[in-house]
Amino acid sequence: MQDRPSGPDLIEAVAQFLNEEILPLMADNPRLKFRSLIAINVLNIVTREMHEAEPLMQAEWQRLADFFDQSAAKMPSHPDQLGQTIDDFNRTLCRRLRTGDTGDDEWSRQLADHLYQTTIEKLQIANPRFLERERQS
Amino acid sequence: MPDTQELKTALEARLAERVDSPLSLTNLEMLAGGSSQETWRLDLTVEEGSFKGFHPLILRRPLGGSIFEIALDLKREFAVVCAASQNGVPSPRPYWMLEEVLGAPATLVERLNGESIGRKLVRATHLAAARHKLPAQLGTALAALHQVDYAAYGLDRLLSKPERGQTPAQTRLAQIEAELDALDEPHPVLELALNWLRRHEPAPPPKLVLIHGDFRIGNVLVNEDGLVALIDWEFSHLGDYAEDLAYPLVREWRFGMDRLRLGGIGQPEEYFQAYEAASQFPVDPDRVAYWELIGNVWWAVGLLKQTKRHLSGEQPNLEFACLGRRCCEMELEILNLLRLVPVAAGN
């Protein structure tokens, strides 16, 4: 186990440095200012991902397992393996959609609900402000 | 990126051949922006002959690689701008296509003043009156483009067109599928959209027209009086008029002004009316909605491809790197357009 600070703590320190010390120097350089803002945004994404991604991936795996009638299967405990099985499920799903399969009404409804939930979860990490805007519209 | 002085010397030599006169080239400077081409500004003063006078110019050079496989090279893009500008489509005056400057081709077109950056254009207070005029101006300009007799300019041989026996929509869906397959990542929301699009294709268009291919806020130059020019023609091809007509409606190109469905500047009705009044094609809402959905899927794939260009080392770039994480924004919009967002979610 590593000593403190944690990974997210370190990233937050870098984001704070960029925000408070570097960004003010970029006032006369719109291009570098824009890119600095992107860099800060990237660090914020990574911080959210480190805090929140794992339970979201577990929930996504569970929905996919239910969808493919594999609810009895054991959820992989290692995050890499979890990601790999989600990827496998998604590839199967994509192949089925590509062949023109539309399934029955129940299949379509369950699929739409799962994909909506997954999209929301991606936005929670990647761009929560977009989600906020969506809810207000 | 070449040395500025080196580029200046090489350009002066090439341009002297073209204008057959002493000349001076000043203020050569690289501009930001553009993901597949280098863009420079420069001022050219010609002493005598038919080009005598002052010419503010934009120089473009290939950067290698593009977001989409269908991108035109500079030579073909220049041919499209020539055809458009001669047919009443607001566009920069094309000057020269140079076969070789410092080992690469280059084009020179007139440098016009105006704002093109989308997030500024939809908000700038000094452009409020321009935004009011833009919908009708965009509709009229697009109608003029779609009337161009492209065969008269040889563009039927230079530009891509639908595969034999396929409609423009089928060709575009096949291109998207090929791009997705090359990415080798599963994207179920995009596949769901493709599945729907394959099953709901509208009737083929009455004829093929010259398509801009990236017609939207962000690729138009605007000043206080409204539309100055359509720019960035590298995705031009022959296709379905509804492709261009629908593309500026795609949510991404509203730059955060979500409720203004036409590019964050207005509602589409006036734009559609102006287009219909000046074109031979009717604005069918279902056909436009179909192509708006295609536009969202197309751009989602574009974002994923930019990240791939970074990750593969083809073009390492911080901005490209994080674009893939914006794909889910397009995906939510796709689910909205497919009416697959649960009612309880309040949309």
Question: Lowest-pLDDT range, A86-95, B26-35, B168-177?
Answer: B26-35
State the pLDDT at residue B202.
Answer: 96
Q: Is A120 in Cβ contact with B188 (below 8 Å)? A: no
State the pLDDT at residue B31.
Answer: 84
3-state secondary structure of B71: coil
Q: Is B195 in Cβ contact with A127 (below 8 Å)? A: no
> What is the mean predicted confidence (pLDDT) over B52-58?
96
Q: Is B335 in Cβ contact with A115 (below 8 Å)? A: yes
List the B94-101 sheet strands across, edge first: B23-31, B37-46, B53-62, B104-110, B94-101
User: Which of B199, B325, B335 has its CB closest to that of A119?
Assistant: B335
> What is the mean predicted confidence (pLDDT) over A68-73?
91
State the pLDDT at residue B257.
Answer: 96
Rounded Cα–Cα distance for residues B110 and B93 (Å)? 5
Rounded Cα–Cα distance for residues A52 and A41 (Å)? 16
DSSP B206-268: SS-EEE-SS-STTSEEEETTEEEEE---TT-EEE-HHHHHHGGGSGGGGTT-TTSTBTTTB-H
State the pLDDT at residue B89.
Answer: 98
Buried b (16+ CB within 10 A) or exposed e, B153-185: bebeebbbbbeeeebbbbbbbebbbebbeeeeb
Tell me: the pLDDT tens digits for B139-153? Answer: 999 999 999 999 999
CA–CA min distance A134, chain B (Å): 8
pLDDT at B34 over 60: no
Mean model confidence pLDDT for chain B? 94
Q: Residue B22: phi, psi to the nearest 5?
A: -60, 145
pLDDT at B37 over 90: no
State the pLDDT at residue A30.
Answer: 85
pLDDT-based confidence at residue B347 (cuts at 50, 70, 90):
very low
Rounded Cα–Cα distance for residues A46 and B123 (Å)? 30
Q: Is A127 in Cβ contact with B326 (below 8 Å)? A: yes
> Which residue type is seen at B190?
L
pLDDT at B228 over 70: yes
Tell me: the pLDDT tens digits for B268-302? Answer: 999 999 999 999 999 999 999 999 999 999 999 99
pLDDT-based confidence at residue B346 (cuts at 50, 70, 90):
very low
Beta bridge partners of A14: none
Q: Quick one: residue B302, left, alpha or beta (phi over 0 = left, psi -120 to 50 = alpha)?
A: alpha
Tell me: the pLDDT tens digits for A79-89? Answer: 999 999 999 99
For residue A1, what are the contacts with CB-CB under 8 A and spacing of at least 6? Answer: none
Tell me: the pLDDT tens digits for B73-86? Answer: 899 999 999 999 99
3-state secondary structure of A28: coil
Higher pLDDT, B332 or A133: B332
